[in-house]
Amino acid sequence: MSRTNSEPKTNTRTQTGVTTRKSASRKSRTTKARKVMRPKPHIVKVGTRGSPLALAQAETFSRLLESVSGGLIYCEIETYKTQGDQIQDRRLQDAGGKGLFTRELDIVQQTSEVDVCVHSLKDVPNELAEGLVIGCYLEREDPRDALIGPYSALRDLPPGARLGTASLRRASQALYIRPDLEIVMFRGSVQTRLKKLQDGLADATLLAAAGLNRLGMTNQAAGFIPVTDMIPAVGQGIVCATIRADAPDWLKTACTAIDDNAARLAATAERAFLKRLDGSCRTPIAGHFCLTDTGAHMVGEVLADDGSTRWWAEGVLDRTPSELDAAELGLWVAEDIAEARNRKPEGKEPTP
């Protein structure tokens, strides 16, 4: 607790324009140092899933929030098990699709059990639960998919190789590149899926490079698949934090202070793209936005479940985008894909 020493007081009196001073030295006075009280820190309860990756993301958010508060915010992390965590025997699209990793967290946030919830953006439905808004986006990690196993590229896998994934998008994209692959259902945390691979349940698996980076496990990847070969899921690599719409101003201000503009623009464009195409876990859909030296670029695709058909489009913006520009770019790309599907149901190849 800091202390300040006060200066000797001087009394001032004015009479007919003449100022006279009564020196404090005529009468010895002692003044006690006044205590300067610091405001009591705000306790922010942060909700998250309990997996190692979810915890790492919540810890990163908490450190950032505390660092911009000047000691006025202290975060406490609370973990919860969601329905998505409990489903291990089938794909998410067979159990309700998007929202399986957020519903329980939405409830504890709506009831004020926690103040903030930290999510992987790709798990967050386009329509947020009532009363919740996205308070901030953290800087985007590597959005690419990583191939785990003895081969660094899908094209190098042996004929008929087994590829473990529970992602309909990854399965469809892999089959588009390699129709001979056998898709094996892999569910669980990063660690669980790596264990399944070690146990010989598949020859290779695909994981998000962002998750491996955040866990310090990049060395597990045999190779990283270029975005030009496998477009990531919408929002892949971005962490977001939801807050209540009526959250106190100090919390909204702190979230704004750690918000990453490039990640916000990417999230805005990609989620606008997803919403236009009604994308969900039941739809093999991919979209990726990035800033360029001259503006922005967006690419997206929709595939048939078996990878036999692909509809692809891209868009370019030749100026630094606003959030509105980013949303419109996502919509333009989505409209091109929607029109292509109507015009040519058998699919559309990407232009050179």
Six-digit token string for 300: 């997206």
pLDDT given for residue 80 in this prediction = 96
My answer on whether 132 and 168 are in the same domain is no
Mean pLDDT of 123-152: 96
My answer on whether 44 and 122 are in the same domain is yes
My answer on whether 336 and 192 are in the same domain is no
Which pLDDT tens digit goes with each residue over 202-229?
Answer: 999 999 999 999 999 999 999 999 999 9
My answer on whether 96 and 243 are in the same domain is yes
SS (H, E, C) 135-161: EEECCCCCCCEEEECCCCCHHHCCCCC
Q: For position 246, which CATH number holds?
A: 3.40.190.10
Q: For position 312, which CATH number holds?
A: 3.30.160.40
My answer on whether 115 and 248 are in the same domain is yes
* Position 323 pLDDT exceeds 70: yes
My answer on whether 187 and 299 are in the same domain is no
My answer on whether 267 and 249 are in the same domain is no
User: Does any domain span residue 34?
Assistant: no
Which pLDDT tens digit goes with each residue over 76-87?
Answer: 999 999 887 776
Decide: 165 and 205 in contact? Cβ < 8 Å.
Answer: yes
Terminal C-alpha separation, the chain: 65
Question: Does residue 123 carry a catalytic annotation?
Answer: yes
Ranges 2-11, 165-174, 253-262: which has the least confidence: 2-11
Domains of the chain: total: 3
Q: Last residue of some domain: 225, 250, 273?
A: 225
**DSSP codes, 10-38:** -EEEEETTEEEEE-GGGS----PPEE-PP
What range does the domain containing 314 cover? 261-343
Going by pLDDT thresholds of 50, 70 and 90, the confidence category of residue 104 is very high
Q: Which helix (H) or strand (E) holds 40?
A: none
My answer on whether 255 and 276 are in the same domain is no
Looking at every residue in the chain, the average pLDDT score rounds to: 87
From the candidates 85, 106, 115, 123, give the one annotated as an active-site residue. 123
